[in-house]
Amino acid sequence: MTDVLLRGGRPWGLDAPADLLVRGARIERVAPGIDAPGAQVVGVEGQLVLPGLVEAHCHLDKTLYGGPWVPHSADDTLAGRIGDDLARRAELGVPSVERIGALLARMSAAGTTHVRTHTDIDPLAGLRGVEAVREAAATSPVDVRQVAFPQHGVLTNPGTAELLEEALKSGVEAVGGLDPAGIDRDPVRHLDLIFALAERYGAHLDIHLHDGGSLGGWELELITERTKALGLGGRVTVSHAYALGQLDEPYQDRLAQGFAEAGVALATAAVYSFPVPPIKKLRAAGVTVACGHDGIRDLWGPYGSGDMLERAMHVAYRSTFRRDENIELALEAATYGGARALGLEDYGLAAGDRADLVVVPCGGPAEAVVVHPARTLVMKDGVVLHN
């Protein structure tokens, strides 16, 4: 593997330009004026250098990306989208290894180096989605981690709990959950089941929570209590958490403090007009906030590009962020926040970190989010993939 010297870039977090010397799969040194005889020199003068982008919440197995346009056919309800997905996935050949692979290629070109994807697990699909995602990921440079996701319920869909366990036995990295009250109608049993699986298999846990208002707030309290009681801090994420954007500020403050103490992360996609968690408040309390696309051109909606800088722009816009320091919080969610939620080691821009790097032709992080220009360079594990 050839050593690579990125010359004259502006690593995010530093006040002045610096070179980055990459040796093997690691960043060896970050400093101005590095002398590295024999290294491949890539001039990135004045451009922003970021760590690899982290897609912390998507559904690769559902994607229609790379295929012909499919008009959206579901109604606007959650139940309607679930039903349409069940009815049409066989007709459209979902999951498709080719389409998953096409989306991963697009993600890689846009600078994404790590993905957490929620893969449907149910008695009709079995583990087909898990297998399709694995096959596509095997030929992609993107590091893909799956969540065994009970899209159609656990308690209300007999046989799903057993399949979740089979997925974990096969090496799936995380177990998922879905609206313990709104879908499964029994939040205590639902949470007992999925938390027990996470504890038994040493897995991460990522729970879709669409339930709103005080019901959703109560479920967030239950999740926090269990995370604390079982010592699973750093391994639990709540995705969407619409209730957080609907509760009054004192309740938000209590929940944020609880998340921080328990080690519960939040992931948002800022989709459509659904409530966005109060990111500034959460980060001020020390809560990890990550982000992702949710669906990308699938039966749940026709939108999504695979570009995490564009997604960070949606997160910032929906949060009404205008000042640079606030817009930068959205970029943090697409990088360091996602890395913490996924439990990535040696992630960042310091000596010793893995050499997963993205170069963006702009002057600063807020501009990168707002403009999200084409990437100048993408590197994964010290290998230049796109330049």
CATH number of the CATH domain containing 70: 3.20.20.140
Residues 321, 263: one domain?
A: yes
Q: Are residues 276 and 353 in the same domain?
A: no
Q: Cα(310)–Cα(307) distance, rounded to whole angstroms?
A: 5
CA distance 96 to 303: 18
How many structural domains does the chain have? 2
Residue 318 sits in the same domain as residue 379: no
CATH number at residue 38: 2.30.40.10
23 lies in the same domain as 164: no
Cα gap 85→67, rounded to integer Å: 17
pLDDT at position 1 is 65
> What pLDDT does residue 81 have?
87
pLDDT of residue 218: 98
CA angle 299, 271, 246 (to 5 degrees): 130
Do the beta carbons of residue 74 and residue 83 sit within 8 Å? Answer: yes
Task: Based on the fold, state whether residues 196 and 307 are members of the same structural domain.
Answer: yes
Q: How far apart are the first and last CA of the chain?
A: 17
301/265 Cα distance (integer angstroms): 25
The type of residue at 106 is R
Contacts with 271 (C-beta within 8 Å, 6 or more apart), sequence order: 294, 301, 303, 314
**The pLDDT of residue 2:** 85
Co-location of 333 and 372 in the same domain: no
Residue 298 shares a structural domain with residue 377: no
Owner of token pair 């998340």: 259
Vertex 202: Cα angle to 199 and 205 (nearest 5):
70
The span from the CA of 27 to the CA of 22, in Å, is: 4
DSSP 337: I
23 and 105 both lie in a single domain: no
Are residues 69 and 46 part of one domain?
no
Helix (H) / strand (E) containing 83: helix 78-88
The b/e string for 311-337 (b: 16+ C-beta within 10 A; e otherwise) is bbbbbbbbbebeeeebbbbbbbbbbbb
167 and 131: one domain?
Answer: yes
Same domain as 204, residue 295: yes
Q: Cis omega before residue 71 (within 30°)?
A: no
- Count of helices and strands (H, E) across the chain: 12, 16
pLDDT at 342: 98
Domain extent, residue 331, equals: 53-342
Boundary residue ending a domain (309, 327, 342): 342
pLDDT at 277: 97
* Same domain for 79 and 10: no
Per-residue pLDDT of the chain (387 residues; tens, 9 = 90+): 689 999 999 999 999 999 999 999 999 999 999 999 999 999 999 999 999 999 999 999 999 999 999 999 999 887 888 889 888 999 999 999 999 999 999 999 999 999 999 999 999 999 999 999 999 999 999 999 999 999 999 999 999 999 999 999 999 999 999 999 999 999 999 999 999 999 999 999 999 999 999 999 999 999 999 999 999 999 999 999 999 999 999 999 999 999 999 999 999 999 999 999 999 999 999 999 999 999 999 999 999 999 999 999 999 999 999 999 999 999 999 999 999 999 999 999 999 999 999 999 999 999 999 999 999 999 999 999 999
Tokens of 335: 């990088």
CB contact at 8 A, 302 and 67: no
